[in-house]
Structure 1
Amino acid sequence: MGTTQLETVPEPKYWHLKTVLSDALDSEFAVGEILPNERDLAARFGVARATLRQALEQLELEGRLQRRRGVGTTVAPPRVGVEVGPAQGSGTAWPGAPGDAWHTEDHEEAVPPAPVGRLLGAPGTPVHAVRRSRTTGGQPVATEVLYVPGTCVPALRLSPADGAAAGAERAEAVLRELQQLPLESQERTVELGSARADDARRLDRLPGAPVLVVTTCYIAQGRTAGVAVSTFRADTCRLSFGDSEGIPALAG
């Protein structure tokens, strides 16, 4: 078989530089150490700063580097282990069930993003939005918004837009009401994304930092009763697919 066109394409400069930088991280730098500035690094390796930035962004995506506000680019620690799905042994469970490691923060009534609205079968309709967070070892690793239609928790009536209730107590009430529904199944998808400003602030990252977005649909009574959009730090969490009950994130 002859050589394909793809095989004749040279390796991009930034990709080769990424390999060189990765070797340097292993041999010259300790975890938490701040890297020299871009100008010095570009001069050391004889590359343009644009090429250097591409290599650094790839290393950040792979969890080797972290960009921190007011600090700079540092060598990342090993990825921590977290579980994306229900607590081990709990099987399929609603958010807030016993063993759930998420912290409930706030509640608002809002129109969900269009893709979530379509999953709920009610685009453009206000729903309950419960915000939760996740920490490991005191470090923020994930943030989540759970969207629940008012028809699924009828005991908690949606307020007019100008008088919507907010707060952790209201959020906890939504979770308690969900426990009353027979949960039939969960459907999850995972995709790579970039941190939006609000999520970046909550995760102590810079806007645009790589994140892993896990979207979970909770099915009850033959319909989608809730959609959780969980944003995990890609530099901290490595997701692996286990059984159908959850997606454990394993330590690196």
Structure 2
Amino acid sequence: MGTTQLEAVQEPKYWHLKTVLGEALDSEFAVGEVLPNERDLAARFGVARATLRQALEQLELEGRLQRRRGVGTTVAPPRRGIHVGPAERHWPGQGPDDWRAIGCVEAAAPAAVARLLGDEAGDDLVHTIHRVRTSERQPVATDILYVPRSSVPGLSDALSPAEHPHAVLAELHRLDLEGEDRTVELGSARAEDAKQLERLPGAPVLIVTTRYVSAGRVTAVSAATYRADTCRLTFGDSGAVEIDTDQTRQAS
């Protein structure tokens, strides 16, 4: 294995090194393979170990590397394809659904969610369902589903904590779902989401916000937080539209 020197570039040296390392991961290493130690890698690329660590940390944040205690730094498996745009419309908890409700409370909707709900939220409390999504037995997303009281007027007031989320979802399923729209943006994991996703607070995440429309109004809003390091979100019938930073990088 020869020595590769970095040429003078305008971007930060560690960022350029990250790109070079990423190309090496694609061509020279297999999934699960342990990387050489920092001293050898720094010598190969002709950089200080501090620069190397910055590049490795960035690759770890992007899900290209995993650091395992007692093992070292290994090449991470490809991102899981997570379908978030079903061909047929379904209410949350209906149809092919791999979300699990973990709790439900009545609370004021955050200002951003209240704006999405419009007049249906008002100053009233909304049913707030917390859910978690798993893939291959690993947590990949958390979700908060906001359902105004006016959307589920037939809900009983005498519900136990265990019954509450399922009762709200059951009432939603009685409505005719007319449409839904989604937005996706990059964000940082909040402390409560990070704990559920087994990540550190502030880790990069993909936030998928969905509005559900029934009877010409927004009936519920979902704010789902997906791990950006292990998930590839797919949309549509074939999943042809993907959020995949690996493919984006290779195409650029």
On whether the aligned pair clears a TM of 0.5, the verdict is: yes
Structure 1 length as normaliser, TM-score?
Answer: 0.77
Confirm or deny: 8 A CA contact 1:109 1:165 kept in the other structure. Answer: no
Confirm or deny: 8 A CA contact 2:83 2:234 kept in the other structure. Answer: no
**Residue 182 (structure 1) aligned to one of 163, 176, 198:** 176
User: What one-letter code is carried by the residue in structure 2 that aligns with 1:47?
Assistant: A
The answer for the alignment partner of 1:100 in structure 2 is: 97
Task: Return the alpha-carbon distance in structure 1 between the equivalents of residues 126 and 78 of structure 2.
Answer: 38
Aligned residues: 234
Task: Return the alpha-carbon distance in structure 1 between the equivalents of residues 109 and 123 of structure 2.
Answer: 7
Residue 78 in structure 1 maps to residue 78 in structure 2: yes
Confirm or deny: 8 A CA contact 1:83 1:248 kept in the other structure. Answer: no
Confirm or deny: 8 A CA contact 1:242 1:248 kept in the other structure. Answer: no
> Aligned-pair distance for 1:63?
2.9
**CA RMSD, Structure 1 to Structure 2 (Å):** 3.4
Matches within 5 A, 1:1-252: 10-26=10-26, 29-32=29-32, 45=45, 46-47=47-48, 49=50, 51-52=51-52, 54-66=54-66, 74-86=74-86, 89=87, 91-121=88-118, 122=121, 124-156=123-155, 166-167=161-162, 169-242=163-236
User: What one-letter code is carried by the residue in structure 2 that aligns with 1:148?
Assistant: V
Task: Return the alpha-carbon distance in structure 1 between the equivalents of residues 69 and 225 of structure 2.
Answer: 19
Task: Identify the structure with bigger relative contact order (alpha carbons < 8 Å, sequence gap 6+).
Answer: 1
SS at match of 1:181: coil
Identity of aligned residues (%): 62
Per-residue CA deviations over 1:70-96 (Å, capped at 9, x if unaligned) read 98754321111221133xx5x111111
Unpaired segments of 5 or more residues in structure 1? 1-8
User: What one-letter code is carried by the residue in structure 1 that aligns with 2:16?
Assistant: H
SS at match of 2:98: coil
Confirm or deny: 8 A CA contact 1:211 1:231 kept in the other structure. Answer: yes
